[in-house]
Chains A and B, each alone.
Chain A
Amino acid sequence: MLASETAALTPRVLPATPLFRAEALTKRYDANLVLDGVGFEIGRHRVVSFVGENGAGKSTLLNILSGIVTPDVGAMEFDGRAYRPRGYGEASRLGVSRVFQEQALILNIPVYENFALGHEARFDWVGQWVDRAAMIKMAERIVEEAGIDVDVRRRTGSYDFAKRQSIEIARACLAPTHLTGIEEPFILLDEPTSALDRRDEEAFFRLVARMKTRGSLVFVSHRMSEVIELSDVIHVLKDGRLVATLDAADADEQTLHGLMVGRERVADYYHEHRQRTPPAEAPVVLSLRGLTGEGQYEGVDLEVRAGEVVGIGGLLDSGKSAVGRGAAGVELPSAGTVALDGGPAGQPAIVDFVRRGLGYIPAERLTEGLIAAFTVAWNISTASGQDLFSGRLGLWRRRREIETARRFVAQLAIRSGAPEQLCTRLSGGNQQKVVLARWLCRDPKVLVLDNPTRGVDAGAKEEIYRIVRDLTDRGVGILLITDELLELIGLSDRIAIMQRGRIVAELAAPADAKPTERELVVLMLPQGAPAAAREPAAAAAPYTAPAIRTLTS
């Protein structure tokens, strides 16, 4: 048994051909050249990364590799044979599997059924009866091999987003081997770690290392430190062209960012020199008093002054996003009050707050932030139907709507954007700018931003940070909720740290005396756990910082 396992893990004698080869892949949408003659080789047992800003062509490239999109020009070869899949189904039969950015798990069935999805026929037992025991056994093998802590009999939806993400990664990596006996799978990972907490992230890293002995992986992520740590080779895409190929051993974040955006990454990415912490007498524009959301957060007191950025940090279960929803009145809190812009303290209500100058940007862009099937103009005007874009009798001001949209497309440099362009055609960063424009056009007094740069590329991130500074210069108060420690530190004037629904610390973060990530992480971890003294590998802690990995970078 042991001997056979070691044999399975030892690389076979390698054929000389690369596992995958692409030549001159080109794809055009209308006038938009998304991929321009991209060619590369992926060796056997390699982890290869593609990095680039949003809109650089990464998603299209992955779509082509996984058979969802056919290239206009170009050829591909997989394991020495021509590879022209006509859909993801065919690609996965050939041994190419993919973890999608949006989760593709079915929530109301047990985990093991998700593993067997599309392969139920293998578990047939006298005609239509499904052999559950065999399915469960197979699923348990996958989970064990992946090293994730999941009970395969539980309903998939009972696990949180991060857990489901690791389930999905395990499925993509291991299901081909266990189900179809494909010997050298080719696995495409599209931003797989963006929602993982540290324990699962470590399991993911181990999983990648293990899968490398089996097949090859393509990895796309915005987290450069991860890219460098995981990959053997890094390809840099810019405006649809492959501009550089680096050995991961000689790459560093600075160089990669430089190559991606075509300029050296400026030292103060967060425009800290523009940070002006407002004086204590500046008016309070948002004030939370004893805000409580049943089972999510409790007794939250917080004040945001005009021109101030107040950041809330905390672990995934700290309830910080729920506080944002409560403060904006999107989800009614069960107790406590919110006062907006010197108004009376009371139960927050989003409809009323929006009219009085509050804006809210949710973390889930595609389900809560914008309607991708609608145009840029429609998405920008959404929040201003009560005042800016409708006159007396409720008539819609279409000309003003189009003009406003055009102005903000230019002002925020929304690439390939036009007022009547559908948002489905925009990249994540540009979609987020559309959501920002929705509030900017209202001259807001307070903005509640929940992970405003999630899934946004480096260039657009910097532009969003610049917009945040512009807003505070104009006296806008900002409540920033973010999973990214560096963003939290870089942008905030004051930082509140939450733990299990309560604010446990509040500290100043002036431009000249920023707290370090290490200081914040210690505050985020549950009491009685002096994290600073702990080895980073102490994965036994039930809750760890989502962004703790940045400590080492």
Chain B
Amino acid sequence: MTSTSEALRAPRRIPVLNRDDKSLLLPLAVVIALAVFFSLATDSFATPRNFSVVTGQAGTLLIVCLGSTFVILMGSIDLSVGAVVLLVGSISVTILNATNIGFGIIPIAALCGSAFGAANGLVYAYGRIPSFVVTLGSLSIFTGIALQILQGRAIQFDSAGFEQVAIGQLIPRLPNIALCALLAWAAVVVLADRTRFGRYMYIIGGGETVAHTSGIPVRRYKIFAFALSGLLAGLGSVLAVARLGAAGPSLGSDLLLNSLAAIVVGGTSLAGGVGGPQRTLIGVLIIAILDNGLNLMGVSQYTQMVVKGAVVVVAVLVSQQRLRNAVVK
């Protein structure tokens, strides 16, 4: 991410981002290896049709992961993103069916999401409760409310043409939801690398006490991060609803594992301060390709769960190895 001219001028460069770039090689190699493997193992993986399917599936995951990457970068964790997706999805469907709002639902969904995220952040920052506990609680609360709204059933929306937001293809073969996800990714990478908000996330994750004694409003930025996580979950949710045509009780249920998996596999450390959203894209690709390829190979749902869990654990093992090297020199 460092510009070349700057990199050339620096006499001895071991900046955080460059080191990251080097450690990106392993996850990238995994993406390529998986793609090659599934292309050889199945006939249907390397087809234009399947490309649309994979990118469509990866779209929701990427959007949702981008926000929670900041939360993890900051040294906290957000377990409630899947539940926010379910709740915002059920609210969106209800509003879509009750009114004539159409595309206007997108900003509403984003707003709802950020409100839920901010609620998490407020309790976390002012209540001084571990984020793990706060979001575990809100995971249950949000899911409960959503299932009450849905009455435990899948509800379809009847807003003509709304599904085009997600499944239309402005760029041939690339579903709009994936396009949105890529745009959001680009915006969030700039946010992480080039703005005060992004820098503060790294500093809070790297040393919260240092951030505090340096006069950084730590609490405020913690709330911002959770609100952003909620906002992107809300956006991802409304796009996922558009893609599926309905919101059902299982919406977002796989996101808890998948989002954490993608972020960690991408290389953002759960300890905070290391990594960033630029890497989450690769993590998402790994998880999405793995999901899709295993499906195509006819591997059972249950076996897939085993494989994915193993991938996460191995990813953490590998990243910790790297961390240890960095400290011990």
- Per-residue contact bits, chain B 242-269, to A (CB 8 Å; 1 contact, 0 not): 0000000000000000000000000000
Contact of B329 with A424 in the complex, beta carbons under 8 Å: yes
- Tell me which of A131-139, A271-279, A372-380 binds B: A372-380
Query: Given contacts A371-B203, A375-B15, A383-B215, is CB(A396)–CB(B210) below 8 Å?
Result: no
| Chain B residue at minimum C-beta to C-beta distance from A376 | B15
Residue A353 at the chain B interface, CB threshold 8 Å:
yes
Q: Give the distance in Å from the alpha carbon of A396 to the alpha carbon of B16 in the complex.
A: 16
Q: Give the distance in Å from the alpha carbon of A465 to the alpha carbon of B197 in the complex.
A: 35
Residue of B193, B215, B274, B326 ringed by the most chain A CB atoms within 10 A: B215
Select which of A354, A395, A420 is within 8 A of B214 by beta carbon: A354
Query: Given contacts A374-B206, A396-B194, is CB(A355)–CB(B16) below 8 Å?
Result: no
Query: Given contacts A373-B273, A398-B194, is CB(A418)–CB(B213) below 8 Å?
Result: no
Query: Given contacts A418-B10, A422-B14, is CB(A396)–CB(B215) below 8 Å?
Result: no
Select which of B195, B206, B213 is within 8 A of A396 by beta carbon: B195
Query: Given contacts A396-B194, A420-B10, A420-B13, is CB(A371)–CB(B215) below 8 Å?
Result: no
- Per-residue contact bits, chain B 203-233, to A (CB 8 Å; 1 contact, 0 not): 1001101111111110000000000000000
Contact of B210 with A394 in the complex, beta carbons under 8 Å: no
Contact of B10 with A330 in the complex, beta carbons under 8 Å: no
Q: Give the distance in Å from the alpha carbon of A330 to the alpha carbon of B200 in the complex.
A: 18
19 contacting pairs across A/B (C-beta < 8 A): A29-B329, A31-B12, A330-B213, A360-B213, A367-B207, A369-B210, A373-B274, A373-B326, A378-B203, A382-B216, A389-B196, A390-B196, A393-B195, A394-B196, A396-B196, A402-B6, A402-B10, A420-B13, A421-B12
Q: Give the distance in Å from the alpha carbon of A396 to the alpha carbon of B1 in the complex.
A: 14
Q: Give the distance in Å from the alpha carbon of A360 to the alpha carbon of B206 in the complex.
A: 19
Residue A370 at the chain B interface, CB threshold 8 Å:
yes
Q: Give the distance in Å from the alpha carbon of A393 to the alpha carbon of B195 in the complex.
A: 8
Q: Give the distance in Å from the alpha carbon of A369 to the alpha carbon of B200 in the complex.
A: 16
B290, chain A: closest CB distance, angstroms? 31
Select which of B12, B196, B197, B211 is within 8 A of A418 by beta carbon: B12
Residue B277 at the chain A interface, CB threshold 8 Å:
no
Query: Given contacts A30-B12, A375-B16, A394-B195, is CB(A330)–CB(B212) below 8 Å?
Result: yes
Residue of A29, A378, A399, A420 ringed by the most chain B CB atoms within 10 A: A420
| Chain B residue at minimum C-beta to C-beta distance from A360 | B213
Residue of B11, B196, B197, B274 ringed by the most chain A CB atoms within 10 A: B196
Interface residues on A, range: 35 or more
User: From residue 135 to 168 of chain A, which have CB atoms closer than 8 A to chain B?
Assistant: none
Contact of B15 with A420 in the complex, beta carbons under 8 Å: yes
Contact of B197 with A420 in the complex, beta carbons under 8 Å: no
B207, chain A: closest CB distance, angstroms? 4
User: From residue 75 to 129 of chain A, which have CB atoms closer than 8 A to chain B?
Assistant: none
Residue B202 at the chain A interface, CB threshold 8 Å:
yes
Select which of A355, A382, A419, A424 is within 8 A of B203 by beta carbon: A382
B216, chain A: closest CB distance, angstroms? 7
Select which of B10, B209, B215 is within 8 A of A367 by beta carbon: B209
Contact of B12 with A396 in the complex, beta carbons under 8 Å: no
A residues at B contact (CB < 8 Å): 29-31, 328, 330, 350-351, 353-355, 360, 362, 367-371, 373-375, 377-378, 381-383, 385-386, 389-390, 393-396, 398-399, 402, 418-422, 424, 438
Q: Contacts of A381 on B, CB cut-off 8 Å?
A: 199
Contact of B196 with A350 in the complex, beta carbons under 8 Å: no
| Chain B residue at minimum C-beta to C-beta distance from A361 | B213
- Per-residue contact bits, chain B 86-107, to A (CB 8 Å; 1 contact, 0 not): 0000000000000000000000
Residue B198 at the chain A interface, CB threshold 8 Å:
yes
Contact of A368 with B199 in the complex, beta carbons under 8 Å: no
Contact of A386 with B196 in the complex, beta carbons under 8 Å: yes
Q: Give the distance in Å from the alpha carbon of A354 to the alpha carbon of B211 in the complex.
A: 12
Q: Contacts of B198 on A, CB cut-off 8 Å?
A: 396
Query: Given contacts A371-B210, A373-B273, A398-B194, is CB(A385)–CB(B12) below 8 Å?
Result: no
Residue of A375, A382, A386, A424 ringed by the most chain B CB atoms within 10 A: A382
| Chain A residue at minimum C-beta to C-beta distance from B205 | A371
Query: Given contacts A394-B196, A398-B194, is CB(A378)–CB(B211) below 8 Å?
Result: no
Q: A373-B327, A375-B16, A396-B199 are in contact. List 14 more A-B contacts (CB 8 A).
A: A29-B329, A351-B217, A368-B207, A370-B210, A371-B210, A371-B273, A373-B16, A378-B202, A378-B203, A381-B199, A383-B215, A385-B200, A418-B12, A424-B327
Q: Give the distance in Å from the alpha carbon of A512 to the alpha carbon of B20 in the complex.
A: 56
Q: Give the distance in Å from the alpha carbon of A375 to the alpha carbon of B14 in the complex.
A: 8
Q: Contacts of B211 on A, CB cut-off 8 Å?
A: 382
Contact of A374 with B202 in the complex, beta carbons under 8 Å: yes
A412, chain B: closest CB distance, angstroms? 17
B residues at A contact (CB < 8 Å): 6, 10-16, 18, 193-200, 202-203, 206-207, 209-217, 273-274, 326-327, 329
Q: Give the distance in Å from the alpha carbon of A550 to the alpha carbon of B201 in the complex.
A: 45
Q: Contacts of A369 on B, CB cut-off 8 Å?
A: 210, 213
Contact of B214 with A438 in the complex, beta carbons under 8 Å: yes
The 3 closest A-B pairs by CB, nearest first: A354-B215, A383-B214, A390-B196
Contact of A374 with B6 in the complex, beta carbons under 8 Å: no
Query: Given contacts A369-B210, A382-B210, A418-B11, is CB(A351)–CB(B195) below 8 Å?
Result: no
Q: Give the distance in Å from the alpha carbon of A10 to the alpha carbon of B15 in the complex.
A: 56
Residue of B11, B200, B207, B211 ringed by the most chain A CB atoms within 10 A: B207
Contact of B10 with A419 in the complex, beta carbons under 8 Å: yes
Q: Give the distance in Å from the alpha carbon of A355 to the alpha carbon of B215 in the complex.
A: 8
Residue of A373, A378, A438 ringed by the most chain B CB atoms within 10 A: A373
Q: Give the distance in Å from the alpha carbon of A398 to the alpha carbon of B7 in the complex.
A: 12
Contact of B326 with A420 in the complex, beta carbons under 8 Å: no
| Chain A residue at minimum C-beta to C-beta distance from B198 | A396
Q: Give the distance in Å from the alpha carbon of A370 to the alpha carbon of B198 in the complex.
A: 18
Q: Contacts of B16 on A, CB cut-off 8 Å?
A: 373-375, 378
Q: Give the distance in Å from the alpha carbon of A394 to the alpha carbon of B193 in the complex.
A: 11
Residue of B202, B211, B213, B326 ringed by the most chain A CB atoms within 10 A: B213
B224, chain A: closest CB distance, angstroms? 11
| Chain B residue at minimum C-beta to C-beta distance from A399 | B6
Contact of A371 with B206 in the complex, beta carbons under 8 Å: yes
Q: Give the distance in Å from the alpha carbon of A390 to the alpha carbon of B195 in the complex.
A: 7
Q: Give the distance in Å from the alpha carbon of A398 to the alpha carbon of B10 in the complex.
A: 13
Q: Contacts of A399 on B, CB cut-off 8 Å?
A: 6
Contact of B194 with A395 in the complex, beta carbons under 8 Å: yes
Q: Give the distance in Å from the alpha carbon of A394 to the alpha carbon of B207 in the complex.
A: 21
Residue of B14, B15, B193, B206 ringed by the most chain A CB atoms within 10 A: B15
Q: Give the distance in Å from the alpha carbon of A353 to the alpha carbon of B193 in the complex.
A: 27
Residue of B193, B206, B273, B326 ringed by the most chain A CB atoms within 10 A: B206
Q: Give the distance in Å from the alpha carbon of A377 to the alpha carbon of B12 in the complex.
A: 13
A226, chain B: closest CB distance, angstroms? 29
Query: Given contacts A354-B215, A382-B203, is CB(A368)–CB(B11) below 8 Å?
Result: no
Contact of B215 with A368 in the complex, beta carbons under 8 Å: no
A351, chain B: closest CB distance, angstroms? 5
Q: Give the distance in Å from the alpha carbon of A351 to the alpha carbon of B211 in the complex.
A: 10
Contact of A394 with B6 in the complex, beta carbons under 8 Å: no
Q: Give the distance in Å from the alpha carbon of A183 to the alpha carbon of B193 in the complex.
A: 57
